[in-house]
């Protein structure tokens, strides 16, 4: 395991840092106050090659290793974790195609992402099936002509209001059974659909092959307001066989494989946020004096800064170890992916909460970025598997 950074990786990091400094951080508090979806930033990030990092060389011409991906996501998240959540969601939706799709499916489902800054959604969670995905009820029924009919409701879906491609997990086989499939409603089809914007802000997407995808009113969230989140309903969507990824009975395994890939990415999101919280707090406590002394020079406050720094560095070390293990496909990669996610979420929550505390009353004011960071940090501990779910995975592997 080599944890040193290559020249290429250093170049990626510098590119993202420049983008974040020049385009993301200026005006970030105004953008997020209005739940302003940052299509301009998404386009610029795409132009810089910071999106769709999981698309394989067979489609794009080059591969991006997981350590580089984690470094890019971390730096983007230093600017804003709503932006990086939306950006990373394309990989969440597309990596299953990269891993299990046929050559034709890779071309059909992944090529559009190399040609324009389009967005995808990963549709797994349902109102009654969150941590327990196996309880999902979205169902795909086989028809006499060999196609399937998809019906069901997904919730909390990132990019739902803007996506032109949907990766969907659903039950198949006997109604109420356990067999799960994974399918993609492709960009090619959605872009030819008849799309109506509803008064709620949702969309009704009438697919040319039959059926409707309805996205709900964009959710109003506590944090990560630059990301878009909404429900997605599938109503009698006709699914041809070639939209189904891999073996139609192995969807649950595919979903778990995607989450193994994605957890280090969420860890990178948490780590970027934790680092930003640490940096804005150091800057503030150097600037602010009480009792004739800078806050950062007071022993108790300095201890807190030291604890924040340790959390960031520990989370980074675990993330890099997890990324290397996944790259090397070691047997214990899953527990390190979960550990990295939990360590980064803990660092993000700790640094944002303690950072706010060190800002005193000013930290509680909306004009100070630390208050936004504390709101944003909450979801890192929840999405793509809560802290308890990660611990369940670690415990199961260890015992």
Ligand X SMILES: Cc1cc2nc3c(=O)[nH]c(=O)nc-3n(C[C@H](O)[C@H](O)[C@H](O)COP(=O)(O)OP(=O)(O)OC[C@H]3O[C@@H](n4cnc5c(N)ncnc54)[C@H](O)[C@@H]3O)c2cc1C
Instruction: For residue 169, give Cα distances in angstroms to 137, 140, 301.
Output: 10, 10, 48
Selected binder of ligand X within 124, 239, 262, 265 (CB under 6 A):
124
125 touches 155 (CB < 8 A): yes
Q: Determine the Cα–Cα distance for residues 80 and 372; give it in Å rounded to an integer.
A: 10
Using CB under 6 A as the binding rule, whether residue 338 contacts ligand X is answered as: no
Selected binder of ligand X within 198, 388, 396, 397 (CB under 6 A):
388
In the window 216-245, what residues touch ligand X (CB under 6 A)? 221, 224, 229
What residues contact 163, with CB distance under 8 A and at least 6 apart?
A: 93, 119, 120, 121, 190, 215
Using CB under 6 A as the binding rule, whether residue 336 contacts ligand X is answered as: no
In the window 138-157, what residues touch ligand X (CB under 6 A)? 156-157
Q: Which stretch binds ligand X (CB under 6 A): 17-25, 141-149, 183-191, 388-396?
A: 388-396
- Which one, 268 or 324, has the nearer CB to ligand X? 268
- Which one, 92 or 320, has the nearer CB to ligand X? 92
Instruction: For residue 396, give Cα distances in angstroms to 111, 230, 337.
Output: 38, 32, 14
Using CB under 6 A as the binding rule, whether residue 161 contacts ligand X is answered as: no
Selected binder of ligand X within 86, 125, 161, 233 (CB under 6 A):
125
CB of 279 to ligand X, least distance (A): 24
**Which one is catalytic: 75, 354, 369, 384?**
384
Per-residue x/- mask for ligand X, residues 89 to 118, rule CB under 6 A?
A: x-----------------------------
Helix 81-100 to helix 251-287 angle, to the nearest 10 degrees? 160
- Which one, 12 or 234, has the nearer CB to ligand X? 234
What residues contact 375, with CB distance under 8 A and at least 6 apart?
A: 222, 223, 224
47 touches 238 (CB < 8 A): no
36 touches 373 (CB < 8 A): no
Residue given tokens 């930290």 in the structure block: 363
Is there a catalytic annotation at residue 219? no
Residues that bind ligand X (CB under 6 A): 89, 122-125, 130-131, 156-158, 221, 224, 229, 379, 382-386, 388-389, 392
What residues act catalytically? Answer: 384
């Amino acid at each position: 395991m080599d944890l040193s950074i290559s020249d290429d990786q250093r170049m990626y990091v510098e590119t993202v840092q420049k983008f974040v400094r020049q385009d993301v951080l200026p005006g970030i508090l105004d953008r997020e106050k209005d739940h302003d979806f940052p299509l301009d930033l998404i386009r610029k990030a795409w132009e810089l090659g910071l999106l769709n990092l999981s698309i394989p060389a067979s489609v794009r011409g080059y591969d991006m290793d997981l350590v580089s991906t984690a470094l890019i996501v971390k730096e983007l998240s230093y600017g804003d974790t709503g932006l990086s959540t939306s950006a990373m969601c394309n990989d969440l939706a597309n990596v299953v195609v990269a891993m299990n799709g046929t050559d034709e499916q890779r071309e059909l489902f992944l090529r559009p992402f190399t040609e324009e800054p389009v967005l995808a959604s990963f549709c797994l969670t349902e109102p009654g099936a969150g941590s327990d995905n196996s309880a999902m009820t979205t169902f795909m029924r086989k028809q006499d002509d060999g196609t399937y009919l998809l019906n069901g409701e997904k919730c909390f879906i990132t990019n739902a209001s803007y996506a032109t491609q949907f990766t969907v997990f659903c039950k198949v086989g006997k109604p109420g059974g356990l067999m799960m499939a994974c399918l993609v409603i492709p960009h090619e089809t959605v872009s030819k659909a008849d799309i109506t914007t509803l008064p709620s802000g949702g969309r009704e997407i009438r697919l040319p092959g039959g059926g409707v995808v309805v996205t709900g009113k964009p959710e109003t969230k506590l944090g990560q307001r630059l990301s878009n989140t909404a429900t997605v309903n599938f109503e009698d969507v006709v699914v041809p066989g070639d939209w189904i990824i891999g073996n139609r009975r192995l969807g649950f395994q595919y979903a778990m494989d995607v989450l193994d890939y994605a957890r280090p990415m969420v860890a990178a999101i948490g780590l970027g946020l934790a680092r930003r919280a640490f940096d804005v707090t150091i800057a503030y406590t150097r600037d602010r004096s009480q009792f004739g002394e800078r806050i950062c020079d007071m022993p108790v406050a300095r201890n807190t800064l030291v604890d924040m720094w340790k959390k960031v560095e520990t989370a980074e070390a675990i993330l890099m170890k997890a990324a290397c293990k996944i790259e090397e496909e070691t047997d214990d990669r899953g527990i390190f992916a979960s550990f990295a996610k939990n360590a980064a979420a803990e660092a993000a929550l700790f640094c944002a909460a303690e950072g706010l505390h060190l800002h005193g009353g000013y930290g509680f004011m909306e004009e100070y970025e630390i208050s936004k960071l504390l709101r944003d940090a909450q979801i890192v501990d929840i999405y793509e598997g809560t802290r308890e779910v990660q611990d369940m995975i670690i415990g199961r592997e260890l015992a």
